[in-house]
């Protein structure tokens, strides 16, 4: 499989606090990599370094061999290629669902507005939200907002999608509808790096699992190895803390 994203020797600190400590991670085209680890271990920071939201102290991130952090060219060009969805949706409150989705493609990618609207409607239809296209974010449930945030990211045709705890703010009954969308994207062969605390979802969607602790990758492997036969004590303890059972 062809490598699409490469993180090499990445070190990120805030003043004296080393948050990511010489991290290496490679992601192939069409691969779904799921990152888990205790709170504060550096998961969100890693995703933010990948799309150059953060400056890094050492190492580099490349997409198709082209360096994106430290960034040489235009930051916007990097961010067009890498979509990111957050726990907090980040929809524009004063824009409708359709406007939220078409804004960046029209402004940044210079897509014709009618074409962008057509694509947005098709994506909304796929996630069961076409009837909400003229609603404002505050008129949607959390799960609906998050599904809009996901399809909004797809409007830019990103090469890699980064998802950071996208169900963490949702009521339990809405988690499923959002995770189902992500599972569909995985089946379509989208390249994704996903941070989540939902271990059964992780297992269902991951091609490869990565465990970070204390800013380092402590263990990685296939979902089966990772959950059934963890090698390190730290991962065993982490899985136990979720009372994760492989049954
Ligand atoms: N802007 C910042 N300035 C200083 N320290 C920061 C900043 N952002 C994050 N940190 C610190 O970096 C460490 C890693 O944070 P990060 O948000 O990446 O953790 P995380 O693994 O995503 O945790 P969680 O599971 O709780 O979301 C934490 O110790 C955090 O306090
Ligand atoms: Mg986080």
Residue of 109 and 72 predicted with greater confidence: 109
Q: Which conformational region is residue 10 in: left (phi greater than 0), alpha (psi within -120 to 50 degrees), or beta?
A: beta
pLDDT at 244: 61
Classified as helix, coil or strand, 246 is: coil
The alpha carbon of 49 and the centre of ligand 1 are apart by a number of angstroms equal to: 12
Q: Which atom of ligand 1 is nearest to the CA of 38?
A: 25
Helix and strand numbers, DSSP H then E, in the chain: 9, 10
pLDDT digits (tens, 9 = 90+) for 80-135: 899 999 999 899 999 999 999 999 999 988 999 999 999 999 999 999 999 999 99
**Is the peptide bond prior to 139 cis by the omega test (within 30 degrees of 0)?**
no
Ligand nearest to the CA of 17: 1
pLDDT at 72: 72
Q: How far is CA 212 from CA 31, 41, 185, 219, in A?
A: 19, 6, 24, 7
pLDDT digits (tens, 9 = 90+) for 167-224: 998 988 899 999 999 999 999 999 999 999 999 999 999 999 999 999 999 999 999 9
pLDDT at 193: 98
Classified as helix, coil or strand, 160 is: strand
How far apart are alpha carbons 24 and 57 in whole angstroms? 14
How far apart are alpha carbons 163 and 171 in whole angstroms? 18
Closest residue by CA, ligand 1 atom 1: 14
Q: What is the pTM of this model?
A: 0.94
């Amino acid at each position: 499989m062809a490598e699409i994203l490469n993180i090499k020797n990445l070190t990120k600190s805030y003043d004296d606090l080393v948050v990511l400590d010489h991290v290496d991670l490679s992601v192939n085209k069409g691969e779904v990599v799921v990152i888990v680890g205790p709170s504060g271990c550096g998961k969100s920071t890693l995703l933010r370094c990948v799309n150059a939201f953060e400056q890094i102290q050492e190492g580099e991130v490349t997409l198709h061999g082209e360096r994106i952090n430290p960034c040489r060219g235009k930051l916007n060009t990097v961010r067009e290629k890498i979509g990111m969805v957050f726990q907090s949706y980040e929809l524009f409150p004063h824009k409708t669902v359709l406007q939220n989705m078409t804004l960046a493609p029209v402004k940044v990618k210079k897509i014709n507005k009618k074409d962008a609207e057509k694509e947005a409607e098709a994506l909304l239809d796929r996630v069961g939200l076409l009837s909400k296209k003229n609603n404002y974010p505050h008129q949607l449930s959390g799960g609906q907002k998050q599904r809009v945030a996901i399809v909004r990211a797809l409007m830019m045709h990103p090469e890699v999608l980064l998802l950071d705890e996208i169900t963490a703010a949702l009521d339990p009954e809405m988690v499923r509808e959002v995770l189902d969308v992500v599972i569909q994207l995985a089946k379509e062969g989208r390249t994704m790096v996903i941070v989540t605390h939902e271990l059964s979802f992780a297992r269902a969607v991951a091609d490869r699992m990565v465990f970070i602790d204390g800013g380092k990758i402590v263990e990685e492997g296939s979902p089966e190895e990772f959950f059934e036969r963890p090698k390190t004590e730290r991962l065993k303890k982490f899985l136990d803390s979720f009372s994760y059972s492989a049954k």
